Amino acid sequence: MKEFLRELTIQADNPGVSTGQNQWAGHGKVLESYSPVDGHCIANTQVASREDYDAVIRQAQVAFEVWRLKPAPLRGDIVRQMGQQFRQHKQALGQLVSYEMGKSLQEGLGEVQEIIDICDFAVGLSRQLYGLTMQSERPDHRMYEQWHPLGVVGIISAFNFPVAVWSWNAMIAWVCGDVCVWKPSEKTPLTGIACQNIIREVLRNNEVPEGVSCLVLGGREPGEWIASDARVALVSATGSTRMGKAVAEATGRRLGRCLLELGGNNAIIITPEADLAVAVPAIVFGAVGTAGQRCTSTRRLIVHEKIYEDLKQRLQKAYTQLRIGDPMEATHHVGPLIDQQAVDDYQAALETIKAQGGTFVIEPGTLTGSGYESGCYVRPCVAEVENHWDIVQRETFAPILYLIKYATLEEAIALQNGVPQGLSSAIFTLNMREAERFLSAAGSDCGIANVNIGTSGAEIGGAFGGEKETGGGRESGSDAWKTYMRRQTNTINFGHSLPLAQGITFEL
């Protein structure tokens, strides 16, 4: 057994349902977890049945009654202690993320660092859940707003950021006084169990009620239970646009609240005034990092015609240097795709690109032989295409980069915005006018717009999310916490009469 699995108390057979302190096995079907790194079966998990799920929600509801009354700074202190636990287990959890999901060890460790950072952010936030005071138009009246906890927050997460996305939601929700029920991706259940194991001791030591942190494992089904369950006050769902539409419909039917973080189709514009020495590494990392399986991965490169050939050659040179292999080895740049289905999707996309008239300037391929036994390793590739083609309009979750030529900045911005998704975008230019145009109201229509850095990756301090088919949600930093609370406007009369608003009189 690998040492990091032992440290995180991951056994061969794992329970798929848990509240913070007592853990009990799920009664659903058995889920086998395979590593895309070497194709080995890591462990089995018995997932949640509907009865298990209902028991968890009841526990969460009971816990909420107590947790919401704990002063926010004390909730923050518990989150601070969780951050300490993640510091201690950073190496082991980073290794598990890398082994279970297939991203590089550096990126696995980076994800755990994001958990630590969001814990710190949430601790500070726990003393800053500010409301406004307003001037009342009535004499001897005071008006203000306050923010109250919402209730049970359901977190549905995707495989590609198996732990960071949970923490962006959970740590903020906890300081806001909510309780969390987490359903991780069925492709990465063990990292979910590991996080629950890491925080268990903190919850126990602080006598935190069971149900503040709950875990429900399984596939689409428990996700659907969460989305349609009126006991869940907020559903925060991260994943494909297909999944987001289903969650939006289910929460909409019950007029529930949802926060959606869905697919992207992110572009970088390279103008003739770009510093290509800075741009090329940003493009390559954005396109091939996490084997193109980030929601913020660079998928389209919109390049000015004057520098198009030069940039193409630079990319060809950079791509030949890429080393593909075991992501846990620091010398490799590109790890595997998550599973065989993802490889099939990559291959199907290649066929469609060819059928639609695309040409590859860097050839694709699937790798076989020693070191590639899992069958999930593919070659990052670059294709010349047109923006309006169906395949380019879609998000293919693989390291395929599209090259598109432009003549004017207006055209480049229109191409960048001319897709259904609106997550991340970037421009590389040293020209202040071009940069400011890109950031203006007539510029990028995405939730994230960068200058001289790529589309991929984000800091926890900003609000993260995107527009259009990306779902419109914002989580993590800035004032994203407001989604996790309910706003209440309060008016207090400390006078001896009852003046009505808008000057209305009502005499008895």
Taking CB under 6 A as the rule, which mask of x and - marks residues 336-375 in contact with ligand NAD? Answer: ----------------------------------------
Q: Over the range 375-406, which residues count as b (16 or more CB within 10 Å of their CB) and which as e? A: bbbbbbbbbbbebebebbebbbbbbbbbbbbb
Site residues for ligand NAD, window 10-69 (CB under 6 A)?
none
Is 467 considered catalytic here?
no
State the sign of the Cα–Cα–Cα–Cα dihedral 258, 259, 263, 266. Answer: positive
**Interface stretch with ligand NAD, choices 178-186, 363-371, 425-433, 498-506 (CB under 6 A):** 178-186
Site residues for ligand NAD, window 437-456 (CB under 6 A)?
none
Q: Are strands 30-34 and 463-464 parallel, antiparallel or unpaired?
A: unpaired
Q: Is residue 261 a contact residue for ligand NAD (CB under 6 A)?
A: yes
Q: Which amino acid is at 31?
A: L
What DSSP designation does 451 have?
E
Please give the structure tokens belonging to residue 339: 């599973």
**Interface stretch with ligand NAD, choices 25-33, 50-58, 89-97, 257-265 (CB under 6 A):** 257-265
Q: Which of 4, 34, 53, 161 binds ligand NAD (CB under 6 A)?
A: 161
> What is the closest distance, in whole angstroms, from the C-beta atom of residue 160 to ligand NAD in the complex?
5
The rounded distance, in Å, linking the Cα atoms of 413 and 445 is 9
Number of residues that bind ligand NAD (CB under 6 A): 30
Q: Is residue 118 a contact residue for ligand NAD (CB under 6 A)?
A: no
Among candidates 244, 188, 197, 246, which has minimal Cα distance to 217? 188
> What is the closest distance, in whole angstroms, from the C-beta atom of residue 375 to ligand NAD in the complex?
18
**Interface stretch with ligand NAD, choices 12-20, 147-155, 157-165, 498-506 (CB under 6 A):** 157-165
Residue 474 in 3-state DSSP? coil
Cβ contacts of residue 275 below 8 Å, gap of 6+?
Answer: 428, 430, 452
Choice between 150 and 217, CB closer to ligand NAD:
217
Strand partners for 41 = 34
Residue number with the smallest Cβ distance to ligand NAD? 223
Q: Is residue 160 a contact residue for ligand NAD (CB under 6 A)?
A: yes
Nearest-10 Cα torsion for 172, 173, 177, 182: -140
> What is the closest distance, in whole angstroms, from the C-beta atom of residue 386 to ligand NAD in the complex?
22
Choice between 271 and 424, CB closer to ligand NAD:
424
Q: Is residue 182 a contact residue for ligand NAD (CB under 6 A)?
A: no
Choice between 177 and 327, CB closer to ligand NAD:
327
> What is the closest distance, in whole angstroms, from the C-beta atom of residue 475 to ligand NAD in the complex?
8
Site residues for ligand NAD, window 456-485 (CB under 6 A)?
470
The rounded distance, in Å, linking the Cα atoms of 225 and 305 is 51
Strand partners for 169 = none
Choice between 126 and 396, CB closer to ligand NAD:
396
> Which residue reads 């949802």 in tokens?
258
List of E strands, 86-193: 133-134, 141-149, 152-156, 179-183
Site residues for ligand NAD, window 373-412 (CB under 6 A)?
395, 397
Work out the angle at residue 393's Cα, subtended by the Cα atoms of residues 390 and 398, and round it to the nearest 5 degrees: 100
Q: Are strands 298-304 and 232-238 parallel, antiparallel or unpaired?
A: unpaired
The rounded distance, in Å, linking the Cα atoms of 231 and 252 is 14
Q: HEC string of 251-269?
A: HHHCCCEEEEECCCCEEEE
The rounded distance, in Å, linking the Cα atoms of 383 and 378 is 15
Choice between 22 and 393, CB closer to ligand NAD:
393
Choice between 163 and 412, CB closer to ligand NAD:
163
Site residues for ligand NAD, window 271-310 (CB under 6 A)?
295
Among candidates 127, 120, 40, which has minimal Cα distance to 80? 120
Q: Which of 49, 95, 169, 185 binds ligand NAD (CB under 6 A)?
A: 185
Choice between 18 and 126, CB closer to ligand NAD:
18
Measured from the Cβ of residue 412, the count of other Cβ atoms closer than 10 Å reads: 24
> What is the closest distance, in whole angstroms, from the C-beta atom of residue 452 to ligand NAD in the complex?
23
**Interface stretch with ligand NAD, choices 26-34, 58-66, 89-97, 183-191 (CB under 6 A):** 183-191
Among residues 100, 114, 261, 469, the one annotated as catalytic is: 261
Taking CB under 6 A as the rule, which mask of x and - marks residues 208-247 in contact with ligand NAD? Answer: -----------xx--xx--x----------xxx--x--xx
Helix axes 90-101, 105-125, angle to 10 degrees: 130
Choice between 219 and 371, CB closer to ligand NAD:
219
Please give the structure tokens belonging to residue 227: 């989305």
Binding residues (CB under 6 A) for ligand NAD: these are: 156-161, 165, 183, 185-186, 219-220, 223-224, 227, 238-240, 243, 246-247, 261-264, 295, 395, 397, 423, 470
Residues recognised as catalytic: 261
